[in-house]
Amino acid sequence: MIKKIGLLTGGGDCPGLNAALRAVVKSSMGMGSEVIGFKDGYKGLVQNNYMHFQPGDVSGILDRGGTILGTSNRDNPFHFKVELEGQTEYRDMSGRVKENLQMHDISCIVLIGGDGTLTSGRDFARMGLKVVGIPKTIDNDLSGTDYTFGFMTAVNTATDAIDKLHTTAESHHRVMILEVMGRYAGWIALESGIAGGADVILIPEIPYDIGKVALNVIARKNAGKNFSIIVVAEGAKQAGGDMVVCKVIKDSPDPVRLGGIGNRIAEELEQLTGIENRVTVLGHLQRGGRPSPFDRILATRYGVAASEMVERGEFGRMVCMQGGEITSIPLEDAVGKLKTVPPDGEIVSIAKSLGVGFGD
C-alpha cells in the first residue's frame, strides 16, 4: 500500500527550503510513497490548497532560494484569521486540517519550519496526528539542534557585507555599523562578526554600555586605526534598556518587528566620539539568495532523515543535528525555548581574546 505523505514549509523563508523539500520528495518517492505538498504553509493546509508532487517538480531546485511551495508566518491553524460578512474573526481550524488530511488519505505530515511552525506541529501531534518536523531558521535559535539550515547562508551574506564595509570604512576613516537579523538571539551577529573581523559585536545576550563601545572606537583611533566596524544584532539592547521596536503587526502570531538599533547606536556614538558613522541594515538580504553548500547538504540530510523516520514510524519528533550527527528529539523538547548565545561560552570568549568589544 502506497503511503501518502503531506509536506509544507512554514514561517519565514530561508535559503535551503527547496533543498529540504527536494530531499523529502525524492527519498520518499524512492521508498514508494506519494507526496502531497500544501501551498503557503498552514494556510494551504487549512484551505486545502495543494499539489501532487511528480519527480520533475523538484528538478533543478537544489540551489534555489525561497520555497516552491510558498510559505506564510501569519497563519496559525489553531488561531486562524477568517473573514465573515466583513468582520474578522480568529478560529481554531485544527479540525479542518484533520479533515483535509483524511480527505487525501494522508498518513503523516512533514513540517519544515521554525519555532512557530513546529509548535503547531507539536499541538497536532497531541491531537494524534503523525508529525515529523524539520528545523529551519536563519536565526539558529531552535533548541535541541546544533544548527538549523539557512543560518550559515545568512552568516555568509553578513560576512560578505562586513568585508565590503572594511574598505570604505578605512578609506573615509568612519565607523561602519552593520545591523543584522536574529531577533532575540545573537548568533548571526556573533559568527559573522568574528568571520569578518569586526571590532565590536553587540548581541541581545550581552546588554551593552554605549560609553564602553565609544571607548573601543576611541582606543582604536588612538592606536592609529582610524576606522571601526561594529556588527549589531537587531535585538541588542543597552544595559537597563529595551530592544528597539520598528513596528507591531497586530494580526501576526509574533507581532513585534525589531529594527532601528543601528541608527540609535550611530547617533549616540557620533555624539560621544565625534567620528562620522554610517549604518547598513542588511534586512531580508539575509533570507534570500542561493543557499551555501553547507546549508544545501544540511537541508538534504534533514530531508532524507525525515523520510526515513516516516518509513520507520517515528512520529512526534524533530530531525536535528547533535555533535555533527543527524538524530531526532521529541517535538515537545524542540519548541518553546529559544537557543541563545551563552555570554560566557567558547565563541564569545574567543572573540574577546581577539580584542573584540561587546560593550560590557
Residues annotated catalytic, as ranges: 139
User: What single-letter amino acid sits at 208?
Assistant: Y
Q: Whose grid coordinates read 474578522?
A: 88
Q: Note the helical H segments in 179-255.
A: 187-196, 210-222
DSSP label at residue 192 = H
CB 129 within 8 A of CB 105: no
Burial tier of 327 (Cβ tally within 10 Å: 0-12, 13-18, 19+): middle
Task: Count how many residues are written for the chain.
Answer: 360
Q: Label residues 214-234 b or e (16+ Cβ within 10 Å = b).
A: bebbeebbeeeeebbbbbbbb
Q: Would you give the end-to-end CA distance of the chain in angstroms?
A: 61
Q: Whose grid coordinates read 529559544?
A: 338
